Amino acid sequence: MNVTGLTIGQVALAALMDIAFALAIGSALLERWLAVEGQLARAACQRARASLVAACFALVLADVLWLLYESAVMSGLALVPAIGAIPTVLGQTQVGFGWCVAFGGAVLAWAAALASRGGRAGQAAFGLAVVIVALGKASMGHAADAGPWSAAVAIQALHLLATGVWGGITLAGGLFVLPALDSSTTRGALIRVAGRISYTAGMALGAVLATGLYNAVVGLGGSLAPLSETGWGHVLTLKGALVLLAVLLGALNRTSALPRLRRTASTTDAHTFNNVLHLEALVMVGVFIVAAVLAHMAPGIMPSH
């Protein structure tokens, strides 16, 4: 990957797309869980809804800006002249096809977030939108080299969905929603939602690791040499280190902070759980940024230019 102003902007927007996608998924899940808690969790539920709508809007906006940067990179033009290249990118490239799918899903997700108030129809529409976005994003990357409807695209889409669930509930919970459950009157709701976060994150993590390992093996071409001999391998190693750190923080909450919180329901243990989740959320931001860099590099099995 040649580092230029355009590529830096493109990677930054790709990271924003990934973060917004995950935040939308996590906010939607938290809103659904908090809705059953009643009036005591109303403030947290409102935060989850606001986070959901904002994340969907950010995803749509980042998609549009990323397409402009991608058109500039592909055409070799500056940003403003590259507007004229957008129809060509959309109509004649695999990236353009994948972008159309992902953008359609993002618009549907935003519409569902604006129109829905927790109803089943809105939840179903949002769930469909999330799957569409994941398939579109998977079709924009190296997974589509085997074809737009290949097993590699399906595995990458599953990876994006699982990462969105794990990272999303961590981001939404740790940065926005759970701090609203910081009083003694909402402690029961906090304990129940924390349990759901821990369980769901654990389930999603299994899918993340399985699909991520598959993608790494494919990218490495069956050899560990690219890990030390290519820039792609170095970035992949950094991503793996950040994922491991996030896993360790999640495990700390699951095995230590959450059991203590369930036993004592104390303010101190509630703060401990929230603080660890907040730190895990910050690490996840780093994971998404590094993943965006990785997605814009040629895999280690391919020669770099």
How far apart are the C-alpha atoms of 36 and 32, rounded to whole Å?
Answer: 7
What the chain holds in terms of domains, given with CATH numbers, is: 5-295 (1.20.1630)
pTM: 0.94
Residue 236 or residue 301, greater confidence: 236
- Residues 167-184, mean pLDDT to the nearest whole number: 95
Q: Please provide the average confidence, as pLDDT, over all residues in the chain.
A: 91
Q: Which pLDDT band, with edges at 50, 70 and 90, does 305 fall under?
A: very low
Residue 173 or residue 304, greater confidence: 173
Q: Which pLDDT band, with edges at 50, 70 and 90, does 301 fall under?
A: low
pLDDT at 303 over 50: no
Helix axes 94-115, 120-139, angle to 10 degrees: 160
pLDDT at 290 over 80: yes
40-61 pLDDT, tens digit per residue, is 899 999 999 999 999 999 999 9
- Residues 144-166, mean pLDDT to the nearest whole number: 87
pLDDT at position 150 is 82
pLDDT at position 304 is 43
Least confident of 90-104, 157-171, 189-203, 205-219: 205-219
